[in-house]
Amino acid sequence: MTKQLLFVAAFLCTSGSASAQVAEVRVGANVHDINWTGAGNGEAKERSLAVNGEIVFEEPEFLKWALSPQPYIGGTLNLGGETSYGGAGLMWRQTLSEKFYFDFSFGLKVHDGTIEVLPSPLVQSVIDDGSVTEGFTSEQVAQFALDLSEFRNRQQSEIDYGSRVLFRQQLALGYRWNDTWSTQVFVEHLSHGKILVRGRPNEGLDNVGLRAAYHF
């Protein structure tokens, strides 16, 4: 799936059938990979800009027991060719004053980034044997050098997410200009938390952004 299809699918999926229940539409931009939690990859491997959009629905009656969360769908399209993602979840809102409010969101996202950077079979064979290039032909030595360089470059430039599906937590502070419009600043973290999969990397992704919200 291309990044464009991933974004469109996440943003528009189910919106047609649930349009009567839409409470809010959000559009904005974010700085990608800032490691604000200390639980990201820690190296700003994918520092770039992205655009994001979300559709938030009214609280369904069957979720009243869970403090009336609002379902949402949405996605983020990276403008630098890095990781894009989309998915759905639940959002809880707390009014702080006449103008300010606070949102906490939790959900699942599907991304198009790297699950795990793995060495080539040639490099892996050297790692497994614990030797350098003993017994290699000159052609194998040259190929090993190329493969090792590519492997190290990928380790430094790609986030090892470990799973195609990730948890996503987001905190947002909103300011209402009027009954229709508000502005929100948000931070978010994505990772599998060593829960969705085990035995794989869990470098994670942290973002910070700003967006406008239209309230119906």
Q: Give residue-wise pLDDT tens across range 122-172.
A: 888 777 776 666 677 888 888 888 988 888 888 888 999 999 999 999 999
What CATH number did the domain enclosing 33 receive?
Answer: 2.40.160.20
Q: Are residues 13 and 68 in the same domain?
A: yes
Q: Are residues 32 and 67 in the same domain?
A: yes
Question: Is residue 15 pLDDT above 60, yes or no?
Answer: no
Q: What is the DSSP letter of 127?
A: H
Q: Residue 10: CA atoms inside 13 Å, Cβ hemisphere, count? A: 27
Give the span between the Cα atoms of 185 and 170, in whole angstroms: 10
Which phi and psi angles does 41 have, rounded to 5°? Answer: -80, -15
> Which helix or strand (DSSP H or E) is residue 131 part of?
none
Q: Are residues 138 and 198 in the same domain?
A: no
Count structural domains, the chain: 2
Q: Are residues 43 and 97 in the same domain?
A: yes
Q: What is the value of pTM for the model shown?
A: 0.84
Q: Are residues 8 and 95 in the same domain?
A: yes
Q: Are residues 139 and 66 in the same domain?
A: no
Residue 131: the pLDDT is 67
Q: Which amino acid is at 122?
A: L
Which pLDDT tens digit goes with each residue over 22-63? 999 999 999 999 977 776 777 789 999 999 999 999 999 999
Complete DSSP assignment for 57-125:
EPPPGGGGGGT--EEEEEEEEETTSS--EEEEEEEEEEE-SSSEEEEEEEEEEEE-S-S-----HHHHH
Q: Are residues 194 and 172 in the same domain?
A: yes
Which pLDDT tens digit goes with each residue over 81-93? 999 999 999 999 9
Domain ranges, residue 9: 3-113+163-215
Residue 124: the pLDDT is 83
Q: Are residues 22 and 125 in the same domain?
A: no
Give, rounded to a whole angstrom, the gap between the first and last alpha carbons of the chain. 32
CA dihedral 44, 45, 47, 52 (to 10 degrees): -110
Q: Are residues 129 and 208 in the same domain?
A: no
Q: Is-contact 37 85, C-beta < 8 A?
A: no
Q: Are residues 88 and 169 in the same domain?
A: yes
What region, left, alpha or beta, does residue 42 occupy, with left being phi > 0 and alpha being psi -120 to 50 degrees?
A: left
Q: Are residues 144 and 180 in the same domain?
A: no
Residue 104: the pLDDT is 98
Q: Are residues 69 and 145 in the same domain?
A: no
